[in-house]
Amino acid sequence: MSQDKLPNDWLTGGLLDAEYKQYTLLAWLKRWEREFRDVKIYPAMEHLTDAHRELKTFQKEQRNWRKALQGPLQGLDFASRRLIYKHFNAHPELQAYLDELLAFSLPQIEKALATGKNLYNIVEEHLELEPIGIQPLYRDEGYLLVYDEDQREVNNYRYAKSRILLNGEQHVQLALSPVEKLKKSWTDTFEQMKVRLARQFPEWPNPAVFLARVSYSFPLQQTTLPVAKRRLIRLLID
């Protein structure tokens, strides 16, 4: 099974066989378990979180319908994954299939999520985030320097903070765009890097610059950068 996300009709489409669906889920989870073994946290955590949220939503809807209608389940709308109920012609085998599959799937995904969260915490323990130099009042835009102490590599990103409305709630998001990648010499300092950035981009004479320093070499795109990005978001909204 090669796709990143579980198919939209994984629960209700195709062959409605609980054992087959369980096999499909386990094959999908195995891919992310391999990623975790390689210390690659993302996009595994995003896909696992999405799958868990969708199953919990489906389970809640199922319970609400059962309680509200007090009637048997008639079938499923495969396109929208919504349940169709009737007050007659019960289909207990369909309800039993869904109950069995949900009871199996949710703990499996939660176990994988727990592994990912534990790995995230370990990486975060080895990551330090600090401002470089005097910080300006305006910090919605600036630079994030990601420094791998083991490799002495610096990946510099320009960041821009914005707010989006999601499900009626305000959320902060951070867009990153790469600026440069360089090897840090023993004499080069991060304060000097900040001065060079101010000269290279004079529209920000005193830019907000943050340093994310990691003491181990983790995969940059899948681990170090996402963890540093989330740490920076928390710092900017405090």
Identify whether the C-beta of residue 58 lies closer than 8 Å to the C-beta of residue 81: yes
- Determine the pLDDT at residue 91: 64
β-pairing, 82-85 vs 153-166, is unpaired
- Determine the pLDDT at residue 168: 67
Crossing angle for the helix pair 44-69 and 18-37, to the nearest 10 degrees: 150
**Mean pLDDT over all residues of the chain?**
87
Amino acid at 86: K
- Determine the pLDDT at residue 112: 98
Q: Percent of the chain at pLDDT above 90?
A: 63
Query: For residues 55, 6, 105 and 22, what is the CA-based torsion angle, rounded to 10 degrees?
Result: 140
Identify whether the C-beta of residue 208 lies closer than 8 Å to the C-beta of residue 141: yes
Q: Judging by beta carbons within 10 Å of its beta carbon (0-12, 13-18, 19+), is residue 183 exposed, middle or buried?
A: exposed
Amino acid at 232: L
Q: How far is the C-alpha of 32 from the C-alpha of 28, rounded, in Å?
A: 7
Measured from the Cβ of residue 216, the count of other Cβ atoms closer than 10 Å reads 14
- Picking from 186, 184, 162, the residue whose alpha carbon sits closest to that of residue 173 is 162
For the stretch 93-121, what's the b/e string if a residue is b when 16 or more beta carbons lie within 10 angstroms of its beta carbon?
Answer: ebeebbeebbebbeebbeebbebbeebbe
- Determine the pLDDT at residue 3: 67
Would the pLDDT of 87 be above 50?
Answer: no
Q: How far is the C-alpha of 54 from the C-alpha of 106, rounded, in Å?
A: 10
